[in-house]
Structure 1
């Protein structure tokens, strides 16, 4: 097995991104209307912000979740009123999933809270923000493209 040496700044960036994500999740929400989500629920809701509807199979492939885990996540999101399942109008054999208006509103609300928290933590300094966003988008895209098709996960690369 060949190991590749990674320059320390990239390792630090990866670790830092994970720590920041955890801190954002740890904070919770100040708005009483905000519905807290598990990491997997958040992943599904983020994906549903980019499509009007999706089949569970497509959602599993696009989020990297195993299909059985996705079923549990969808039941939880349905019970919170954030998603709804319906019979596909194109092919009545399939079910589609879409975010409800409450789900879309919740996503906008928690996203605003995340933005405020990050802005406050940075002291409002956004001088390098566009460059940081560009780099992080490129990293995300590259990671999605390189996602392994293992352990029940699909190799779909859509986002």
Structure 2
């Protein structure tokens, strides 16, 4: 007779469930610690968690309509409007009207926004590396696992299609 872990797969079973829960706890704690410590560089512009999500998205998609940003970040359109207003006041993004028809709006990162994102990433890297004692032995494995978890969670977000993340035609 096969054991239960073998029957349900390598990622199921009570022992694995506890370890996945521990991973989730650690990710949340680490995220909060990174946010809590702030920045050492006075030029770094602090961001709320929602502002950070939008800026992370815009680093890979430097010009996008608000509907696409909302879908990608999981923010409601009304909340996104508030977040974009804050980012505009900080000089990190700008909204531009579509020159073709004057109706559509795209959000663009500014040079200041791109520079700030690079600066805060350097600070995050320094903090996380120091916290790990600069030991990169398991860094590639951790990045691979966390990238898969992020992609899986995003694709399973409520309101997205079961086959993967929502896309625009």
Aligned partner (choices 20, 39, 51) of residue 10 of structure 1: 20
How many residues are matched? 151
The corresponding residue for 2:79 is 69
Tell me the alpha carbon deviations over residues 73-128 of structure 1, each in whole angstroms, 9 at most, x when there is no partner: 00000000000000124543100001100000000000000000000000000001
TM-score, normalised to structure 1, is: 0.90
Q: Which runs of 5+ in 1 are unaligned?
A: none
- Say if 1:145 and 1:157, in contact at 8 Å, map to a contact too: no
The corresponding residue for 2:134 is 124
- Say if 1:87 and 1:96, in contact at 8 Å, map to a contact too: yes
Q: Which runs of 5+ in 2 are unaligned?
A: 1-12
The corresponding residue for 1:44 is 54
Indicate the structure (1 or 2) with the bigger Cα radius of gyration.
2
Q: Distance in 2 between matches of 1:74 and 1:156?
A: 21
Aligned partner (choices 30, 37, 45) of residue 40 of structure 2: 30
Q: Distance in 1 between matches of 2:61 and 2:133?
A: 34
Question: Which 4+ stretches in 1 moved above 3 angstroms?
Answer: none
